[in-house]
């Protein structure tokens, strides 16, 4: 191993997942907005690199990280119910999908295949940080298990502002750090593809 190599971080998947048929939602908080913007951009750029179409990426925002679980669950449920009513409309009285019509499961009308929840929590002088981190991480985990839709944990829980900046690739030091939004984009495409394959 090279002297400067690190064992930390994610190893790229050997499989090259194709995002072109996937629908992905990004739900982000507005607290610590400069950092959020860099992370959201990293995630969107990566989704597009992996083939996810512009019209298949939906971005919604909420005030703070505490609101993420509610928003993620509502966005997933909304997309599922819109997709099933579109499917019912398309199928119509015959119960058959016209071969000229787009299949709602694979187009911009389909349910989301994955959601990336993005927030930046920075520890302050009270216990707020601990309570929000705990509630949000448990909430997001519960939602993906309950809905069967992968939720990517894009919530930075940083002890200092510098830690958060570095993890968004906009650190104050010369190296700038690594944008974790990029990893979340890759994780969304991989998990969405695997969830389709496994279900």
Instruction: Count other C-beta atoms under 10 Å from residue 117's C-beta.
Output: 28
Contact status, residue 182 vs residue 9, Cβ threshold 8 Å: no
Tokens encoding 80: 């599922």
Return the range that interacts with ligand DLZ (CB under 6 A); candidates 49-57, 61-69, 83-91, 176-184.
61-69
Contact call for residue 184 and ligand DLZ (CB under 6 A): no
CB of 159 to ligand DLZ, least distance (A): 11
Spatial distance between the Cα atoms of 160 and 51, rounded to a whole number of angstroms = 35
Contact call for residue 122 and ligand DLZ (CB under 6 A): yes
Q: Name the residue nearer to ligand DLZ (CB basis): 42 or 104.
A: 42
Contact call for residue 144 and ligand DLZ (CB under 6 A): no
Return the range that interacts with ligand DLZ (CB under 6 A); candidates 4-12, 29-37, 75-83, 141-149.
29-37
Instruction: Count other C-beta atoms under 10 Å from residue 145's C-beta.
Output: 10
What lies within 8 Å, CB to CB, of 116 at 6+ separation is 24, 25, 26, 27, 43, 151, 152, 154, 184, 185, 187, 188
CB of 30 to ligand DLZ, least distance (A): 8
Listed in order, strand segments (DSSP E) in the chain are: 24-29, 57-62, 114-122, 151-158
128 catalytic, yes or no? yes
CB of 178 to ligand DLZ, least distance (A): 20
In the complex, which residues of this chain contact ligand DLZ (CB under 6 A)? 29, 31-32, 63-67, 119-122, 124, 128, 132
């Amino acid at each position: 191993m090279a002297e400067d190599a690190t064992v930390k971080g994610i190893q790229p998947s050997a499989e090259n997942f194709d995002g072109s048929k996937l629908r992905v939602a990004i739900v982000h908080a507005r607290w610590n907005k400069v950092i959020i913007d860099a992370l959201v951009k990293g995630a969107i750029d990566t989704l597009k690199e992996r083939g996810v179409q512009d019209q298949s990426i939906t971005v919604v925002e909420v005030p703070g990280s505490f609101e993420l679980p509610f928003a993620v669950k509502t966005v997933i449920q909304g997309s599922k119910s819109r997709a099933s009513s579109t499917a019912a409309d398309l199928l119509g009285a015959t119960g058959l999908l016209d071969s000229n019509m787009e299949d709602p499961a694979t187009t911009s009308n389909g349910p989301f295949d994955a959601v990336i929840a993005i927030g930046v929590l920075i520890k302050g002088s009270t216990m707020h940080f601990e309570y929000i981190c705990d509630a949000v991480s448990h909430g997001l985990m519960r939602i993906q298990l309950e809905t069967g839709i992968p939720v990517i944990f894009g919530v930075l829980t940083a002890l200092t502002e510098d830690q958060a900046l570095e993890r968004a690739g906009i650190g104050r030091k010369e190296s700038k750090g690594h944008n974790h939004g990029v990893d979340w984009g890759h994780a969304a495409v991989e998990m969405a593809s695997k969830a389709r394959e496994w279900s």
